[in-house]
Amino acid sequence: MLWHHARPLGKAPMVVRPLVQIVCNLSGWATVDPEAMNSSAPAECRNLVGGRWLPSTTSRQLPDPLTGEKFLEVPHTQPDEIGPFVQSLRSVPKSGLHNPLKEPERYLLYGDVSFRVAAELRRPEVERFFMRLIQRVAPKSIAQALGEVRVTRKFFENFSGDQVRFLARGFTNPGDHLGQMSSGNRWPYGPVALITPFNFPLEIPALQLMGALYMGNKALLHVDQRVSVVAEQLLRLLHHCGAPPTDVDLLHGPGTTMADVIKAAEPRSTLFTGSQRVAEWLAVETHGKVFLEDAGFDWKILGPDVRDLDYVAWQCDQDAYACSGQKCSAQSILFAHSNWVTAGLLDRITDLATRRKLANLTVGPVLSWTTKSILDHTKRLLQIPGAKLLFGGKPLSGHSIPEVYGAVEPTAVFVPLEQALLPEHFGVVTTEVFGPFQVVTEWQDSQLPQVLDACERMSHHLTAAVVSNDINFVQHVLGNTVNGTTYVGIRARTTGAPQNHWFGPAGDPRGAGIGTPEAIRLVWSCHREIITDFGPVPPAASLVQS
């Protein structure tokens, strides 16, 4: 099978250990074998509710993204089965499972759990288990899949020991008189829900779920059915490391069933990472009780100062095409100053992009767009006056990827800036293609206002990059844009794992964050002010009715 030979570019082939050995070394918590998943022995998933692993009455057999063979059997939970999930969420008080004044020992518990999980993820066999499982359900190169596991492990390391307790740190202010003091506290919501997509099947569920648990919430987790097996194995590892099995419920199945649970259980808050369409539906259905990290049509502006051409070209290729472009932070449009075009940047990006191969999964299946839909979008762009195909625009060949998924070469379409800004073209130019695809345009000094106008007119503001060491240029662009995670400098990128910084959109009061203490406090806790007033009581003579 193709993925058995996946390796980073320029590296020797990885020696594949038999996974029978690996599973035997996982202390009994793992219930799937990534190497053995096939049509004759599909991996089987289970729902988790009330601390019990249960099947559903119907299941769905999913195709291997690379071969089309049935390799995964997932509960296809139906609306008439949601009762236990609804009851489980409704049983949680609004004050949560713990808070600063109730069972604070649980902060310490989750600090210990995080320490143990991080230690497990440092074991080579556990690290490789999750890396291979990710590759099987969301094919990406070894470097990308391994990076996801390691970012997740670093997150658990960051919140080990007392760091969970510190997340609930509040503040105090003196009162008006002796005995009075006001304190601000971080308070859980109680019953919460989180919905995460397919592209990072370990990292996004792990980081958001743990934030919910750290702050004292009970969570219902729903992950895209195509990759939810990874989240299930994560939960089994958490239980092995001491997490209470009743703190999280896991619902496999279609999104419509999860929608029914949300409508019936009315969680106090819901975190959603995924498509704009579903995000807007959730915002209405939950009466605004959501945090969203949805569409990401992400821009990169190359400033007028040209330097380190090879590095910048390499970063552009990584931002647009790593993980087959299936990152919410992927580079969607490149505004290249004419100095960079003259210096040959586009030729170097072309060379790098055409080196990507299915054999090492540096390009692979697209799970949310079909080949036809991507090529049709390419044709629509090429109908714009002056547009041209820089590279790609063809289906991948020599593969057995099922037709329900996309399989296209890394693609870039050049669109003249003045045409891209026209109202009749702007919508198609700024359509996010969740695959190995980007739009490229060129600008000159006098056109910077038009570039900034394009950034202003985009509807979602997740990530961005300003590639320049000219501080005046950088400050001008930053001062006139809004993207929530913006990288600047000659090494600026649009993609970056949130292990050491905030990641999330800006400009929307519903915007979520991930990866940092600030993000956890924002998404998974609210502010509660408590004013203590114990006296002494003033004498009766001083009490005047008003």
For residues 248 and 220, give the distance between their C-alpha atoms in angstroms, rounded to a whole number: 6
What is the rounded CA–CA span in Å between residue 261 and residue 80? 10
Q: Which residue do the tokens 């990308």 mark? A: 144
The number of beta carbons lying within 10 Å of the beta carbon of residue 328 is 25
Place of tokens 């969570």: 219
SS3 letters for 140-194? CCHHHHHHHHHHHHHHHHHCCCCHHHHHCCCEEEECCCCCEEEEEEEECCCEEEE
Cβ(189)–Cβ(522) under 8 Å? no
Residue of 81, 148, 293, 442 with catalytic role: 293
Whether the CB-CB separation of 95 and 102 falls below 8 Å is answered with yes
Q: How far apart are CA 74 and CA 224, in angstroms?
A: 11
The alpha helices in 443-516, defined as continuous H runs, are: 448-457, 471-479
Q: Which amino acid, one-letter code, is at 536?
A: P
Please pick, among 241, 316, 323, 328, the residue that the annotation labels catalytic: 328
Can 442 be counted among the known catalytic residues? no
CA distance 220 to 250: 6
Query: Any catalytic annotation for residue 328?
Result: yes
β 437-443/59-63 pair status:
unpaired
Of 503, 501, 504, 424, give the one whose Cα is nearest residue 460: 504
Dihedral angle over CA of 411, 416, 422, 427, nearest 10: 10
- Residues labelled as active-site residues: 293, 328
